[in-house]
Homo-oligomer: A and B are copies of this chain.
Amino acid sequence: MKNTVKFQTPIIIVNFKTYLEATGRKAVELAEKAEKVTRETNVCIAVAPQFVDIARVAHAVEIPVFAQHIDPIKPGSCTGHVLAEAVKEAGAVGTLINHSERQLKLAHIDATVKLARETDLVSCVCVNNPSVSAAAATLKPDIVSIEPPELIGTGVAVSKAQPEVVTDTVKLVRGINPSVTILCGAGISRGEDVRVALKLKTQGVLVASGIVKAKDPYSILREFADSTKQ
């Protein structure tokens, strides 16, 4: 593992989901583009490839690699589940938890955040609205990321379309947990969306199709990174 680039804010996390454009060899290529932007701009970009691609991506790049999910399990008889220790050994330095496409029971989010802490994985709990973001913040993850499900994949940015969702989240979360990193996501597709997200006092964005499905992911990522400095 070579993830030598430090996790720092502002941060852009690129969720590869199960897009064919970001599977296998193409996952490595996309991660390399992200790494190139990080090298050029010194802005932290993390990538979250599929489970089977974590090792290959983590071997190829020095930027932070996240799992898309881990299960609240201990080593043992859990066929078909995702073990924190295994993603860690494969080279991941963090994990998404409770993404809207992979939601967990509340007690399992709690257990998974604790497990990530024990395994020394950065935990990013995804939430759908301000009240749930406050609930997540009490569990002391490293990152809370607010993504209104109805905007995911639309290209309509949460930071533009629903700024009050972001500001309510920041207010509620900060009241409970002053140190957690707050991201927003859903529809983020232009540098301007990133700039507004930071202006609303988040510390970065969680993005997927805006990068993965872009004609030129490198250019958009570069635009995102540059926008964090404006």
Chain A residues at the B interface, C-beta cutoff of 8 Å: 15, 17-20, 23-25, 48, 50-56, 68-69, 73, 75-83, 85-87, 89-90, 96, 98-107, 109-110, 127-129, 131-132, 134-140, 152-153, 172, 176, 208-209
Contacts and interface: CB of A to CB of B under 8 A. Distances in A.
A139 B73 CA distance: 26
Contacts of A75: 18-20, 23
A158 to B, nearest CB: 16
Contacts of A82: 50-52
A136 to B, nearest CB: 7
B18 A106 contact: no
Contacts of A55: 52-53, 55-56
A21 B73 CA distance: 16
Contacts of A106: 98, 103-106, 109, 127, 132, 135-136
Contacts of A18: 73, 75-79, 81, 83, 86
